[in-house]
Amino acid sequence: MKKCLFLLCLLLCVTCFFCACDEAETPAPDPDPTPTHTHEWGEWRISILATCTTEGQEKRLCACGEVEKRVVPVTQEHTFTEKCMTAEYEYTSSVVQTVGIYCYKCSVCDAKGTNIYVTEDASICFGEYPQSLKAENVTVTETTDSRGYFLGSDGAYYAKVTATPYRNDYTFSSGIPVVGGEVYYFKVEPIRWRVISKEGNTVTVVCDSVIDRVVFDDDKSVDRYADSDVRAWLNTQFFNAAFSADQQEIITTTELSIDVEESIEDKVFLFSRDEVNKTDLFATNNDRLLISSDYIRAIGARVDAQTGVGIWWIRTFSSSTSGNALVVFTDGKIYQCNLDIAYVGVAPALTLDLS
Ligand SMILES: [Zn+2]
Ligand SMILES: [Zn+2]
């Protein structure tokens, strides 16, 4: 019996002990283990750069380790850092085609910038004039346009010429001999111009070929370019033949110094000796070699029989011989020439407003 009581007491004690322990070990619910913390944010810092096509992101940090993020909207600005090396830049003007004038494009979205730059081989196609000999597979119809050009089977117009070459050993650029007295047709095609300089949207260009043959002046007593026949021809006959009304609109007036004190204003002009000399594109004799068109080889222009390089007037008069103006000869050097010489050609220059 004593033994039973003992065991019972022991059992009670053990039960009590465990119960007591159980109660002591149960954690009391803690209403707020950490005191309330107000984040102290640092500065917003860019973590992803926004571009013209994608949103960016900014982050700021608290010392506690918390990070806050926010979206940076797409930027309105492009990154015009990449040169757009496409062969052609299309102006908004439909009357000018350019080759070698490039724009800067956005490095992100390829948008084209409005700033343009000119490469060394820059040229512009603008206006049209009879130039290349008609291809053999083209036939010319009797239909003429208001300029007196004949419609060809290819849809192009052609100038009809009975050849009067300066010499009898000339060939056209294709190698076909120029035969005096023969009738030839020359395709009226875009005139290619070399870009000489560019300021904003104003581009000064000079014809990339010797495009026609013109007497400087019939009267050798003329002593100013301002009074010359060639000046009048450039700004009337050539101006009206080569350029449509739309094209004439974008040819701006250029102020030309013709003497120390005198200047004139023209739309189409000849370069002066100073302008030839200071123009990088004419820096060497070689740079001044301009090929003559097929057309002028048939109408009495003097050219280099081997190369087809022509002779072109510059508007400066000879300082030593009256009745002489200067020319760039077939070797690229500058010589003087009688004003009434009929075999010299022209490489007209002009300024375009491309805005
Ligand atoms: Zn914090
Ligand atoms: Zn862009």
DSSP output for 150-214: EEETTS-EEEEEE---SSTT-B-TTS-B--TT-EEEEEEEEEEEEEEEEETTEEEEEESEE-EE-
What's the half-sphere exposure (Cβ side, CA atoms, 13 Å) at 333?
Answer: 3
**Whole-number pLDDT of residue 100:** 55
Q: How far is the CA of 57 from the centre of ligand 2 (A)?
A: 18
Question: pLDDT-derived band of residue 2, with 50, 70 and 90 as boundaries?
Answer: low
274 domain residue, yes or no? yes
DSSP 296: H
Only one residue has tokens 């007593």, namely 221
Q: How far is the CA of 47 from the centre of ligand 2 (A)?
A: 20
Q: How far is the CA of 120 from the centre of ligand 2 (A)?
A: 27
16 domain residue, yes or no? no
Ligand nearest to the CA of 80: 2
297 domain residue, yes or no? yes
The pLDDT tens digits for 110-156 are: 777 655 555 555 678 888 999 999 999 999 999 999 989 999 999 99
Q: In the chain, pLDDT over 70 holds for what percent of residues?
A: 81
SS3 46: strand
64 domain residue, yes or no? no
290 domain residue, yes or no? yes
287 domain residue, yes or no? yes
Mean residue pLDDT of the chain comes to 85
- Dist CA 276 CA 34 (whole Å): 85
Q: How far is the CA of 67 from the centre of ligand 1 (A)?
A: 8
Range of the domain at 132: 121-353
Q: How far is the CA of 215 from the centre of ligand 2 (A)?
A: 53
236 with 267: CB under 8 angstroms?
A: no
Question: And the tokens for 14?
Answer: 């053990």
The pLDDT tens digits for 155-188 are: 999 999 999 999 999 999 999 999 999 999 999 9
Q: How many domains are contained in the chain?
A: 1
State pTM to two decimals.
0.69
DSSP 310: B
Ligand 2 ion: nearby residues, β-carbon < 5 Å: 52, 78, 106, 108-109, 111
Ligand nearest to the CA of 112: 2
Ligand nearest to the CA of 82: 2
262 domain residue, yes or no? yes
75 domain residue, yes or no? no
**Whole-number pLDDT of residue 138:** 97
DSSP 218: S
